[in-house]
């Protein structure tokens, strides 16, 4: 983990910082070709292609009847998981539901003389959730992806997950998901986008995945909507001399353990804190981590401690990085909230540790990565609705605005547009 002094320098030109923000720029050509072939094959051959790819990549041989997991298995998983885990999932689902209910939009109408103009808010009909499986289980991702859709009023939610374990299935049951397919990868994304004999086509696909899943989502966008193309996870901690170095170190490790491309960043104005955090990580906490090898690779490649002049400068550097997770662990964290312009989620104070947000607080943990927080938002109810304009114009209302429309159509040289307005003036 590198300690880099950014004081009194143009930080945008720092090589280590540039390496950090460009870590998602992987060469995708070799993967892109394979993904496009898989999508084309699934589009043409449906279930047969999905079954072949599932056997090839996941080493699981399925029949068409086995693609969907019976609903009874979801209920069974819910009833058989440990009581403390079941209760934690129930609490998490309820807290996430309550938080997202505040995001619900309502239709509205504006009346003018001779006109009624408005917006009708409509939930999408079918949403597809992708949940990674296999080596890892993420029941929390089921909750975070499903609950905004439930609150939005999505009529049908389906889920794809390769080899889902009992916790993932139990989470699906808690969220009211009845249709779960035991498939993953690009073939699952293609199946949800185009439909097969067994899988019904959805309108939107959400959820994280590996490079094949991300590229598949990118390639089916337009056929269906997607939430985002997720990149590696990242955390940025802004801390001053009042921060507990062991707590800060543990927060950095919590993201580094995700994968080798994850980034763990500390920005501080205190050299002593920088040294203390570094020493705690390598001399204490890292030694007993079960995922130590992953963490070490992450920290070696993308672990950084930046030293700056003051906390306001730290906020400036943070805005440049636009992190997925941002913790502000300083004496008066609310003093700096207005300084933050770009971040997926902002955690204020020493007790607001990022893993609480991952699991239980309520705000969504599906967040913009790879600097996309500059223009993107966390997953929410608004991702599962669409809006239709509603327009009524009476004869009197037509008279009020028709001349302007006719004049603009003429200026643009669109004379059929002008005709459709003028013909109504003539009344025949």
Instruction: Give span(s): CATH 3.40.50.1980, the chain.
Output: 2-24+231-362, 29-226
Average pLDDT over residues 180-195: 97
Residue 137 pLDDT greater than 90, yes or no: no
Residue 259 pLDDT greater than 90, yes or no: no
| β-bridge partners, 263 | 234
Residue 230 pLDDT greater than 80, yes or no: yes
Find the range with the poorest average confidence among 79-93, 133-147, 214-228, 388-402.
Answer: 133-147
**Nearest to residue 330, comparing CAs of 371, 285, 373, 273?**
273
Residues for the chain: how many in total? 428
Average pLDDT over residues 146-174: 97
Average pLDDT over residues 203-227: 95
pLDDT tens-digit map of 95-107: 999 999 999 999 9
Tell me the two tokens of residue 236.
């940025």
Residue 74 pLDDT greater than 70, yes or no: yes
* DSSP per residue, 361-400: SSS-S----TTGGGT-----GGGGEEEEEEEEE-HHHHHH
- Per-residue model confidence (pLDDT) at position 26: 63
Active site residue 325: yes
Torsion sign across C-alpha atoms 205, 207, 212, 217: positive
- Per-residue model confidence (pLDDT) at position 27: 62
Residue 428 pLDDT greater than 70, yes or no: no
Average pLDDT over residues 305-323: 97
Active site residue 324: yes
Which residue matches tokens 């989502």?
Answer: 217
Tell me the two tokens of residue 118.
């408005």
Provide the CA 147 distance to its chain's centre, in angstroms: 13
Whole-number mean pLDDT of the chain? Answer: 95
Contact yes or no for 35/219 (Cβ under 8 A): yes
pLDDT tens-digit map of 372-387: 999 999 999 999 999 9
Contacts 24+ apart (CB under 8 A), 396-399: 396/113, 396/114, 397/112, 397/113, 397/114, 397/115, 398/114, 398/424, 399/114
**CA-to-CA separations, 357 to 249, 251, 281, 345, 378, in angstroms, rounded:** 17, 12, 22, 9, 12
Confidence of residue 155 (pLDDT cuts 50, 70, 90): very high
- Per-residue model confidence (pLDDT) at position 13: 92
pLDDT tens-digit map of 269-288: 999 999 999 999 999 999 99
- Per-residue model confidence (pLDDT) at position 194: 98
Residue 345 pLDDT greater than 90, yes or no: yes
- Per-residue model confidence (pLDDT) at position 150: 98
Q: Which of 100, 234, 278, 324 is catalytic?
A: 324
Tell me the two tokens of residue 59.
């080493």
Tell me the two tokens of residue 360.
């239980």
* DSSP per residue, 198-225: SSPP-SEEE----HHHHHHHHHHBTTBE
- Per-residue model confidence (pLDDT) at position 135: 59
Crossing angle, helix 185-194 and helix 211-220, to 10 degrees?
20
- State the Cα torsion 208-211-213-215 to the nearest 10°: 120
- Per-residue model confidence (pLDDT) at position 231: 83
- Per-residue model confidence (pLDDT) at position 19: 87
Using CB atoms within 10 Å of the CB of residue 290, give its burial: 0 to 12 exposed, 13 to 18 middle, 19+ buried: exposed
Average pLDDT over residues 177-187: 96
Q: Which fold has domain 2-24+231-362?
A: Rossmann fold (3.40.50)
User: Cα separation of 54 and 181, whole Å?
Assistant: 11
Out of 3.40.50.720, 3.40.50.1980, 3.40.50.1220, 3.40.50.2020, which CATH number does the structure's domain 29-226 have?
3.40.50.1980
pTM of the model: 0.93
User: Cα separation of 361 and 355, whole Å?
Assistant: 9
Residue 118, SS3 per DSSP: strand
Average pLDDT over residues 149-165: 96
- Per-residue model confidence (pLDDT) at position 232: 86
Confidence of residue 138 (pLDDT cuts 50, 70, 90): confident
**CA-to-CA separations, 124 to 48, 68, 96, 208, in angstroms, rounded:** 28, 23, 20, 20
Q: Which of 325, 327, 342, 365 is catalytic?
A: 325
Residue 136 pLDDT greater than 80, yes or no: no
Provide the CA 403 distance to its chain's centre, in angstroms: 46
Tell me the two tokens of residue 144.
């975070």
Write out the H or E segment, with its range, that includes residue 15.
helix 15-21
User: Cα separation of 235 and 250, whole Å?
Assistant: 12
Residue 316 pLDDT greater than 90, yes or no: yes
Confidence of residue 134 (pLDDT cuts 50, 70, 90): low
- Determine how β-strand 204-206 pairs with β-strand 126-130: parallel
């Amino acid at each position: 983990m590198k300690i880099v002094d950014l004081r009194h320098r143009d930080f945008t030109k720092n090589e280590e910082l540039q390496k950090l923000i460009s870590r998602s720029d992987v060469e995708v050509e070799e993967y892109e070709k394979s993904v496009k072939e898989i999508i084309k094959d699934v589009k043409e051959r449906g279930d047969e292609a999905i079954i072949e790819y599932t056997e090839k990549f996941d080493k699981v041989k399925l029949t068409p009847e086995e693609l969907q997991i019976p609903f009874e298995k979801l209920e069974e998983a819910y009833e058989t998981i440990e009581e403390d885990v079941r209760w934690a999932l129930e609490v998490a689902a309820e807290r996430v539901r309550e938080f997202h209910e505040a995001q619900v939009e309502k239709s509205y109408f504006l009346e003018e003389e001779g006109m009624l103009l408005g917006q009708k808010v409509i939930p999408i009909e079918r949403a597809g959730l992708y949940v990674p499986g296999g080596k890892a289980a993420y029941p929390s991702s089921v909750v975070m992806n499903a609950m905004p859709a439930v609150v939005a009023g999505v009529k049908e939610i389906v889920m794809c997950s390769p080899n889902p374990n009992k916790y993932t299935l139990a989470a699906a049951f808690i969220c009211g998901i009845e249709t779960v397919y035991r498939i993953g990868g690009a073939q699952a994304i293609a199946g949800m986008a185009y439909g097969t004999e067994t899988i019904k086509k959805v309108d939107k696909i959400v959820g994280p995945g590996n490079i094949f899943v991300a590229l598949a989502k990118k390639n089916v966008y337009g056929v269906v909507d997607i939430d985002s193309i997720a990149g590696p996870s990242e955390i940025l901690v802004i801390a001053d001399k009042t921060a507990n170095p062991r707590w800060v170190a543990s927060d950095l490790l919590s993201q580094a353990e995700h994968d080798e491309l994850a980034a763990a960043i500390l920005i501080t104005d205190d050299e002593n804190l920088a040294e203390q955090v570094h020493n705690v990580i390598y001399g204490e906490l890292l030694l007993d981590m079960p995922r130590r090898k992953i963490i070490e690779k992450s920290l070696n490649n993308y672990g950084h401690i930046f030293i700056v002049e003051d906390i306001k400068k730290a906020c400036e550097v943070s805005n440049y990085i636009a992190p997925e997770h941002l913790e502000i662990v300083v004496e008066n964290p609310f003093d700096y909230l207005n300084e933050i312009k770009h971040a997926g989620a902002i955690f204020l104070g020493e007790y607001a540790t990022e893993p609480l947000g991952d699991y239980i607080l309520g705000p969504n943990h599906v967040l913009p990565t790879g600097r996309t927080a500059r223009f993107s938002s966390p997953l929410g109810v608004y991702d599962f609705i669409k809006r239709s304009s509603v327009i009524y114009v009476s004869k009197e209302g037509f008279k009020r605005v028709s001349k302007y429309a006719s004049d603009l159509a003429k200026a643009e040289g669109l004379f059929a547009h002008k005709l459709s307005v003028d013909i109504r003036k003539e009344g025949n």
